[in-house]
Amino acid sequence: MVSPGEEAVDPGQFLRASRVVIVAGKGGVGKTTVAAALARMAARQGLTTLIVQVEQASGLARLFGRPPLTYIESSLAPAAGTIAEVRGRTITPDDALLEYLEDHGLRRISRRLVSTGAMDVVSTAAPGIKDILILGKVKSLERSEAADLIVVDAPAAGHAITFLLSVRGLLDAVRVGPINAQARDVLELLTDPVRCSVMLVTLPEETPVNEAVETAFTLEDRLGISLGPVVVNGLYLPLPGLDVDPAEAADAAGVTLRPGEAEALAGAASFHRHRQALQEAQLERLDERLPIPRVGLPFLFAADLGPAHVDVLAAALRDEVTTLDPPPPETPPVPSPETTP
């Protein structure tokens, strides 16, 4: 935490730290939701943002109130005033392969290859090739500066790890040729902190915390990938008045409760307190085991999250980022040519 008077992290600087942010984590922890919030936060900071959806049916477009994404980029949230546009697209291995073959002068055979299911044969022969095709496309988007920030909504569960580790596996399996070159390029992207970082998402619960810790070490140690702050999603925030007796509070406010209401309110308050105590214990475990900064996002009590909720989470993320400790003094920013004497 930042002490009073100390300089906090500037959200714009935070967002510009690496051009590609891969949002990863266990299934269902809120990767897609956090990807949307991060993109919206960046847009509010004036950065054009492209969200890349790797899995079909992620619910990403719905969060922005838009129809499902396709391989062709589309707008998820228009620019307005100082707010930049959020765009989105999918990257599927089939489409990425088609594009790759066409870019390499193999247009005629490419359609037939994909339509005859050759992709499945190839990916059985060299596991990880689909992931390389997807990440290869992300790399070319990054190279062509497709947006100020590219947010990748990574695949679910353990697959996110396989997804990223497959690059190394493929480099070992395929030692020469275009696939090797592609894997090398992708690895270069993944291991360059200025170009790419991973934002791990977790929930304040035992298993997700364990998995986040394991994933963090695997990604850093085995892949050498740089990690942004870990996002703890779905936090129950402190509620004022949670410890007040509902019947007494109703009396004080001059409200008459119906039979059973005081008990129901007391039950809800007790659940909330219990949940908060559990989450505090998990946050402590996370801090002990994972020595990287963390930011928290609130649990929103809504049946279906939409654009308004994404905005709430984007604002919360921004607030959290500003409370992070500033970077240590031993890694001062490189002075820009204007400020160099």
Ligand X SMILES: Nc1ncnc2c1ncn2[C@@H]1O[C@H](COP(=O)(O)OP(=O)(O)OP(=O)(O)O)[C@@H](O)[C@H]1O
For residue 58, state whether it binds Mg ion (rule: CB under 5 A): yes
Between strands 149-153 and 230-235, the pairing is: unpaired
Given the structure tokens 């850093």, which residue do they identify? 220
Per residue, the 3-state secondary structure of 172-187, as one string, reads HHCCCHHHHHHHHHHH
DSSP string, 122-164: HHHHSTTHHHHHHHHHHHHHHHTT-SSEEEEEPPSTTHHHHHH
For residue 49, state whether it binds Mg ion (rule: CB under 5 A): no
For residue 326, state whether it binds ligand X (rule: CB under 6 A): no
DSSP string, 201-228: EE-SSHHHHHHHHHHHHIIIIII---B-
| Contact assessment for residue 12 and residue 20, using Cβ atoms and an 8 Å cutoff | no
Q: Which stretch binds ligand X (CB under 6 A): 24-32, 43-51, 269-277, 286-294?
A: 24-32
For residue 45, state whether it binds ligand X (rule: CB under 6 A): no
Q: Which stretch binds ligand X (CB under 6 A): 27-35, 91-99, 187-195, 244-252?
A: 27-35
Site string for Mg ion, 6-35 (x = CB under 5 A): -------------------------xx---
Q: Which residues contact 272 (CB under 8 A, 6 or more apart)?
A: 236, 239, 242
For residue 30, state whether it binds ligand X (rule: CB under 6 A): yes
Beta carbon nearer to Mg ion, 135 or 170: 135
Given the structure tokens 């654009």, which residue do they identify? 307
Q: Which stretch binds ligand X (CB under 6 A): 82-90, 140-148, 280-288, 299-307?
A: 299-307
Beta carbon nearer to Mg ion, 38 or 171: 38
Rounded Cα distance between 228 and 249, Å, is 43
Binding residues among 58-117 for ligand X as defined by CB under 6 A: 58-59
For residue 300, state whether it binds ligand X (rule: CB under 6 A): yes
Interface positions with ligand X (CB under 6 A): 25, 27-33, 58-59, 156, 233-234, 297, 299-300, 305
Interface positions with Mg ion (CB under 5 A): 31-32, 58
